[in-house]
Amino acid sequence: MSDKYTGERCIVCGSLFADGDDIVVCPECGTPCHRTCWEKTDKCSNTALHESGGSWKPAAKVTYTPPDGEPIRCIRCGALNEPDSHFCVECGLPLNFDRDSSRPFNGTDGTPTTDDVPSMQGMQMRTVRLTPQSDMGDGIKLADFIDYIGTSSLGILASFIKFAKTDRRLSFNLGALIFPELYFFYRKMTKLGILFLTISFILSIPNMIYYGQSGAFGGMVLFSTPIDFKSADFLKLNEVCGILDIIMNVLAASYANYWYYKKAKQDITRIRSEETVSEKDTSLQIRKKGGTSWAAVGAAFVSLMIATLAFMLSLSFVYR
């Protein structure tokens, strides 16, 4: 009897039935479970069926028989299995699991992806193997993203996979939360770096005026403007600018990885559309276009310091 239920799931322990398992079947609803599981509960655990008066139905449809002697490709992870195998050696999915339905885990070429496999009796299976050749869409392979990002940024790579396989855009980036403008320069996102650097500088102007007039720098008053830096309106403006700066940082932290993903896709697509000598040469170009740049970070930091100093010096000359 056990072979009839091979690939189904015991309702008590949740494990899959294998050939030769000692299985008992509920005489009322037909739900199978291991004999040891039945003895532990001393009753059928499928209370939902008993309450509804329904009967158990198998989740797996044996609709696939491979040609004699040919290996069976798992519809979930793409691994090849021996012809007489019942379960995938890589991910454990029953090899007789409904093969008539489309599987987002495998493209037409059998390349593994990361989408969810349809549920088996309400349980979704999400574990899947990825290889450098896994398709990330638009002709981009996982290896391209690895070359572009670098092997030390696994957190960003995981976000890239999520963006490629779902409609989600949110993630979290600590570096972008603390220093968004410098982080964008670090990842060679120059336009975003300039944008956030400019916004950050503008929002810091009330703060610079306050500290320049209050003597907070070692008791030294740098300038004295007609602005009453102790007034309630000015203090409120300074507080609002501080809040807006925090909001900008949170926005950057939430979308930095997605913006980086979009830039990576554009750069990789453009490089792959060009004529190259070899795949190795293409990979080198992708690495050169991506990666990081401490030089850009240094240049951005120096530019910010110069702009801040120039602004405060100009006020000191205008309001002596």
Q: Which domains does the chain have, with CATH numbers?
A: 2-52 (3.30.40), 142-318 (no CATH)
Pairing relationship of beta strands 32-34 and 80-81 according to DSSP bridges: unpaired
List, for residues 171-220, the tens digit of each pLDDT value.
999 999 999 999 999 999 999 999 999 999 999 999 988 888 887 766 77
Most confidently modeled range among 7-16, 90-99, 245-254: 245-254
List, for residues 16-35, the tens digit of each pLDDT value.
787 778 888 888 888 988 88
Sign of the Cα pseudo-torsion (293, 296, 302, 308, in order):
negative
Token output for 1: 């009897």
Are 188 and 292 a contacting pair, CB within 8 Å? yes
Supply the pLDDT for residue 76.
66
Averaged pLDDT, 37-49: 85
pLDDT confidence bin for 3, thresholds 50/70/90? low
The count of other CB atoms within 10 Å of the CB of residue 129 is: 15
